[in-house]
Structure 1
Amino acid sequence: MMQQAACSQAVNAEGAPRPWGQNPNGMHVYLWAGLKSHFEGQHDYPQFLADWSKILTEHGAIVDGSLHAPDSNDLEHTDVIVIYKGDAAYLSDAEKTALEAFVRRGGGLVSIHDSLCGPDPAYFATLVGGAKKHGEVNFTLGTPLHYDIVDKTSPIMEEMTDITIVDEAFYKMTWAKNPEVHVLATVTIPNTPVVAKAAPTYAGKVVPQIWTWEHTLPGGQPARAFVWMQGHTYANFANYQIQQMLLRGIAWAGKRPVDELVSYVAPPRPQHFIAPPSEAARP
């Protein structure tokens, strides 16, 4: 009975109990993930959906999501879509219609790693500022990557330094031209075996890997996109600097104060909340 009382104190618009600590006024985030691919510890899209549903809720967001593209009903109250799905730029006509309608009303997009890969990079670049073509060798594979922070004044990059992570960089990109992306960080493409064999002219080139983009689709409202092209190695999502950057980038893309998620403090638990034994034993 006591647990039921705790749940009944917070309900959402449909009358169902809210998760404990959820911010009823939080931004609405839709996580679009996909099925697991690649090797162990790589491209773990389902784990991202599970982990970041919890992380974002704990940071004050109201979270929904799935392993398929959202439709118009999913996006009715959404502020920002976070995409972490292999080759998400392969879109059906219905998916394009729903996504474009969302962006036209000012909805934000966050693209992570190979979400921006597909058959028509020129099209997807109109949504997130840059994209790459599926089937081209346009990647380094896993290797040490050193970030050079280009815009150290950006509030999104407040806690980011010129760190080195083991991940994958992309380089053969199709970029939006009007307007151009605002680059936050670059990587000098290392001369990995795959680069040396398939694209040697890109070795040593400086290529944007983190950026923002503000644009307006024809007939629409101004919209925002934030892109982080790493995430090949799933463990990097737990890196403190990267996690703070992503939280700020998501808030920015959703047109919220950039620190809204990183600064959120959940309310104290009700006195009658019954903690499980594993938590009750903690100091």
Structure 2
Amino acid sequence: MTSPWLRSLSLAVGTMLCMSVLSAQGQTSPPGAPRAPGQNPDGMHIYIRAGLKSHLAGQHDYPQFLADWSKVLTAHGAVVDGSLHAPTAAELEHTDVIVMYKGDAGYMTDTEKAALEAFVKRGGGIVSLHDVLCGPDPAYFATLVGGAKKHGEVNYTLDADIPYTIVDKSNPIMQGMTDLTIKDEAFYNMTWARDPAPHILATAIIPGTPSAGAHKGEVAPQIWTYEHTLPGGEPARAFVWMQGHIYANFANPQLQDMLLRGIAWAGKKPINELVDYKAPPPPARKPQ
């Protein structure tokens, strides 16, 4: 459910997104056109890579995430673009972070892979949510985000209680996070990057769902950061949260602040840049 403060921003941010889409298509807004109210012109540039809705109601709602989090991130001082397709090199030219919430994003054409690799090589950040890291070649995708899982393998729990254990409580991304339990989906049987390895922030005990089988009771990483450098590139960062199967969990205050900090971290910005942003007051009206 969208909160009232998000609904109040819909018109203004909708205007901003329309202008952004026109820009991505090579069109520009008229000279002197007003900026959407509340938009921070100096904010970090974020591209939301979403996809078509899948699964049951309330699950994997990628288009709703694009709509809702365009508003959330704009309200927190970011400049937001996004789409339901893989971003082109031109769309990524001025992007600091790609926030990806799209099933099986490991499936990419050669052109899509080249655009993503070029973005990472120049130091661009990736935020991977839920099943983004699923695809045909988990070893390759793990080089981008630290870990991945193979499509077609049984490596998920389906709906279940996911009990987090915060294993790095001193990490600034996790400030304010407690060992909470959410109903969602956890992944196991992952392919991990080794050199360097990801830095684990939180784990969960795999619950005994029918799909978990003998993996019941395993402790599996669910939240992590990854700092790496692709050959010939600059140092880059990725932040991964493997939940998001249940869309309502994006509204959990602890998780929302964690995501905002993870996005800022991946973009090499001050860790609380998005969390602490306060929009300036509107200019005073001149007397008539």
Given the alignment, which residue of 84, 87, 100 partners 1:83? 100
Q: Does 1:17 align with 2:30?
A: no
Unpaired stretches in structure 1, ≥5 consecutive residues: 1-6, 274-283
How high is the TM-score relative to the length of structure 1? 0.89
Q: Which residue of 1 aligns with 2:116?
A: 99
Q: Which residue of 2 aligns with 1:280?
A: none
Q: Does 1:73 align with 2:124?
A: no
SS at match of 2:141: helix
Q: Which residue of 2 aligns with 1:170?
A: 187
Q: Which residue of 1 aligns with 2:25?
A: none
Measure how far apart 1:271 and its partner are: 3.7
Given the alignment, which residue of 166, 180, 186 partners 2:197? 180
- CA offsets 1:52-99 (integer angstroms, 9 cap, x no match): 000000000000000000010100000000000000110000000000
- CA offsets 1:224-279 (integer angstroms, 9 cap, x no match): 00000000000000000000000000000000001000000011123449xxxxxx
| Structure 1 counterpart of 2:266, one-letter code | A
Q: Does 1:41 align with 2:58?
A: yes
The 5 A counterparts of 1:107-256 are 107-196=124-213, 200=214, 202-256=215-269
Unpaired stretches in structure 2, ≥5 consecutive residues: 1-14, 21-27
SS at match of 2:225: strand
| Structure 2 counterpart of 1:182, one-letter code | H
SS at match of 1:193: coil
Q: How far apart, CA to CA, are the structure 2 residues paired with 1:123 and 1:17?
A: 43
Residue identity (%): 71
- CA offsets 1:162-221 (integer angstroms, 9 cap, x no match): 00000000001000000000000000101112212xxx1x11111100000000000000
Q: How far apart, CA to CA, are the structure 2 residues paired with 1:195 and 1:156?
A: 29
Q: CA RMSD in A?
A: 1.6
Measure how far apart 1:22 and its partner are: 1.1
Q: How far apart, CA to CA, are the structure 2 residues paired with 1:272 and 1:225?
A: 44
Q: Does 1:257 align with 2:270?
A: yes
Bigger relative contact order, structure 1 or 2 (CA pairs below 8 A, ≥6 apart)? 1
Q: How far apart, CA to CA, are the structure 1 residues paired with 2:284 and 2:155?
A: 55
SS at match of 2:98: strand
Q: Does 1:29 align with 2:27?
A: no
- CA offsets 1:91-132 (integer angstroms, 9 cap, x no match): 000000000000000000000000000000000001000000
Measure how far apart 1:19 and its partner are: 1.6
Q: How far apart, CA to CA, are the structure 2 residues paired with 1:58 and 1:67?
A: 21
How high is the TM-score relative to the length of structure 2? 0.88
SS at match of 1:224: strand
| Structure 1 counterpart of 2:227, one-letter code | E
